[in-house]
Structure 1
């Protein structure tokens, strides 16, 4: 995002997405205004500015997420920047404050000298008993993810899925071998297998995915079950989709076994690990550097989607599909 012409392009892409997802004109207008403000801030103030526009379901809700991120210089006084009328570039100073008011969910991280990451989320209304109800986040586990295609590709060869249930959640992240359309076929086949029958253990799920991918080029796959009742994490994986459990005082790695689902996977081994109350569970495909660091423990308190964007923005290898998924217990 380094030219004014890209602002209109971003608005058009968001308008098309809003139409396809049946967002009403008022909500689509709010999204358009937010894009305008975020993009203009990137052009005026930032280096290496990028805007991501995505959509996903959360329970009965459908949401559009806007993520603005850049490589600096960051905001010296974040609270001042959020106030109407504040500007360091001679503008009216309405941008970030306006985005925060229009968005259903809003979060921001800014690190002086490193950059800023901003999340604005918009929920589509649903009808209950003939009356519109604003659908909000699902209770249980809070989930955030960013999945990007390799440079020059139109589709990502990565895929992810989360199935929430009473007492926890099941997770699958798949990284199709290589990138591009054929890798995307592998990732989709893995997610289709994940969707066919929830409730199985990670070991059983990985075995099911291995069988389902035999007609594809294969994929690295990691499966996780989060059990809030037993406070446990169950993990099984083959390939290079690596997990981390981070609490702020501890950092434990979940390492998959060698192999490629659909091609060769030896007897699946399942790990069982304690799940601390405030821990983040983070899964990354190999488009993200292995030894990434959150650096500032205060990042743990932010929205999982913003944390995923931070990790991807700072530690993407820049040459492959890249996915970061972050999940934790939702705040009641």
Structure 2
């Protein structure tokens, strides 16, 4: 998720986000159709629409030809009245030993289009790639909504990114997030509605709605309290709220339920304390906890749709990059198909 600075950036609605498995030679056409429909909804047309279609097709074709199989997400990212189109490609293929060579202009990795991964970066307003031999590849690209200049809608926003994915077979995701940056401080929430399907999605939407109306900087405990009250009348949810202040090297966390919160630095990670309970149903006695934020660290929140079997602390190559790459790696490596999945990464630098 590319952040749109100053406004709450939230997880996309059901109609503005689509995951697709890319395993057959016919799959790139399907991903291209989905991307085209979302791009046209945002006003893309003519040459700019063709840029989106070319980039998506190249990414999907690479999955089939080189990874054998993979997955792509195409979505609309909104913040206030502004929006961007974004796609993310993930695979567990052989990976690339020479990423700079793969990104060189004119190098085609698919043997078909002849534009290569480097051209995806030239077509998009922002793009990133991470690949390691034997582990696979993560690629993203972002396209500014037509009519938005660079100052009105920066392509590379504040340092946070989230991903959500519904349980296989479900249309709606019961997990949701919201995040924003004010004066260098990131305020964010993650919610996991109980169960899955429409009722869980409704609970998650209510949690997001409870915080989106907040204009001023807000403490993590107050964000959690607003979600707790906003979720009354729903089936309830596990929720967490966090404020991350890189300048002060400080993180404040408040959680109710089993949202996992971690501070991850090179060589180590530290869990943050959440209070047992269900937001909107029962949850007395929850409180904020403060933690030091080491230099170069990231903060990770995720639902129980991800296992604890991940370790970004040994991956400084991901910690120092766009947080969407780290979020993609976590969803790929630790996500389970037996639940809704969500992850939010905060504080990883851009390089």
TM-score, normalised via structure 2 length: 0.86
Deviates more, 1:308-317 or 1:222-231: 222-231
Range with bigger deviation, 288-297 or 151-160:
288-297
Alignment partner, residue 145 of structure 1: 162
Q: Find the counterpart in structure 1 of residue 205 from structure 2.
A: 188
Q: Is the 8 A contact 2:85 2:142 kept in 1?
A: yes
> Which secondary structure state, in structure 1, belongs to the residue aligned with residue 73 of structure 2?
strand
Query: Are 1:61 and 1:137, in contact at CA under 8 Å, matched by a contact in 2?
Result: no
Residue number in structure 1 paired with 2:4: none
Q: Which of 254, 258, 264 lines up with 1:236 in the alignment?
A: 254
Q: Secondary structure at the match of 1:292?
A: coil
Which one of the candidate residues 275, 282, 285 is aligned to 2:293? 275
Deviations 1:88-113 (A, max 9, x none): 77546432122121111121111111
Deviation at 1:58, TM superposition (A): 4.8
Equivalent of 1:320 in 327, 335, 339: 339
Q: How many residues are matched?
A: 328
Aligned 8 A contact 2:189 2:242 in 1: yes
Q: Rg larger in 1 or in 2?
A: 1
Classify the secondary structure of the residue corresponding to 2:92: coil
User: What's the counterpart of residue 171 of structure 1?
Assistant: 188
Paired residue secondary structure (1:8):
helix
Per the alignment, in what secondary structure is the counterpart of residue 122 of structure 1? strand
Output the CA distance in 1 between the equivalents of 2:230 and 2:128.
39
Work out which of the residue numbers 209, 220, 236 in structure 1 matches 2:227: 209
1:34 matched to which residue of 2? 55
Q: Which of 252, 256, 259 is residue 274 of structure 2 equivalent to?
A: 256
Q: Which runs of 5+ in 2 are unaligned?
A: 1-21
- 1:52-90 per-residue CA deviation (whole Å, 9 max, x = no partner) reads 112213576422111111111112322332235546775
Shift of 1:200: 3.0
> Aligned Cα RMSD in Å?
2.3
Provide structure 1 residue ranges, at least 5 long, that are not aligned to the other structure: none
Is the contact made by 1:237 and 1:257 (CA closer than 8 Å) also made in structure 2?
A: yes
Q: Kindly tell me: are residues 61 and 142 of structure 1, through their superposed partners in 2, closer, same or farther at Cα, counting changes over 3 Å?
A: farther
Matches within 5 A, 1:99-110: 99-110=120-131
Q: Partners of 1:278 and 1:137 in 2: how far apart?
A: 22
User: Distance in 2 between the 1:331 and 1:7 partners?
Assistant: 29
- Whether contact under 8 Å (2:95, 2:131) holds in the other structure is yes
